[in-house]
Chain A
Amino acid sequence: MLVLQRRVGESILLGSEIEVRILGLRNGQVKIGVIAPKHVEIRRNELEEINRRAVVGDWRTSSLAALAQRLKNAGRAEADSKPDPEKRPAEP
């Protein structure tokens, strides 16, 4: 792997058509700008990893059922905590 150090505002060139510029740093995150032709696909690797990790395997079915029950219970609890608009307050 080629490792480069760049300052904010500096960039690197990939081939003759793609420029990657460091736009800023904040809270441990790097803001990157990419200038590339339209035909170059720019993908977020972490999003692909999350989607692939989410794919269900046999071992997960029981865990999913348990999570479903928890989601259902949480939904019921929330519904119970909301005032029923049909119910009027008791007359004094």
Chain B
Amino acid sequence: MIESVEAPPESVITIPNGLPGLPQMERSVLLRPEDLDPILLLQSLSDASVSLPVVPARAISPDYHPTLAPEDRRALGLPEDGPSPELLELVVLVLDSQEGVAACNLFAPILVHPLTRIGRQCLQLGSDYPSLLRLEGL
């Protein structure tokens, strides 16, 4: 377990109010442990014991295209229409200790603005993306 985390300001990801169920994620950094590539760890800066495994969405599904609701665009500081910068798309991984399987949450990706480093978990309402897609085929 990580005991303390220090990060340069430009690397800090700010998620206003944190993630649902994890308010500690209001300020976090992406760690890239070599042995976990392509998995990244979204590490809370306020609670060193809270770290969330995520993976770039394209590593799970090259055809994954999350959509943004107007409130998502506002929260991420994006224009209501017109071109937007390419967002960092992260998918949360869940390991089930009892069943020994992994799953990922395609219903609620964490999207991060590449310049402002503001992030938000954006729900894919009305889509068929599952909140727990089992990664059995891997």
Chain A interface residues (CB < 8 Å from chain B): 43-44, 46-60, 63-65, 67-68, 70-75, 78
Contact = CB atoms under 8 A, between A and B. Distances in A.
A84 B10 CA distance: 37
A46 B59 contact: no
A50 B36 CA distance: 21
Interface of B: 1, 19-22, 35-39, 41, 50-53, 55, 59-60, 62, 92-97, 100, 102, 105, 107-108, 121, 123, 131-132, 135, 137-138
A68 B102 CA distance: 11
Given A70-B138, A74-B138, A64 B51 contact: no
B55 A55 contact: no
A46 B132 CA distance: 10
A12 to B, nearest CB: 23
Main secondary structure on chain A at its contact with chain B? Answer: helix
A50 to B, nearest CB: 6
Nearest to A53: B94
A43 B17 CA distance: 13
B35 A65 contact: yes
A55 B39 contact: no
B38 A75 contact: yes
A56 B41 contact: yes
A63 B95 contact: yes
A50 B95 contact: no
A70 B96 CA distance: 16
Contact of B21 (A47, A59, A78): A47
A68 B105 contact: no
Contacts of A48: 20-22
A56 B52 contact: yes
Contacts of B22: 48, 51-52, 55
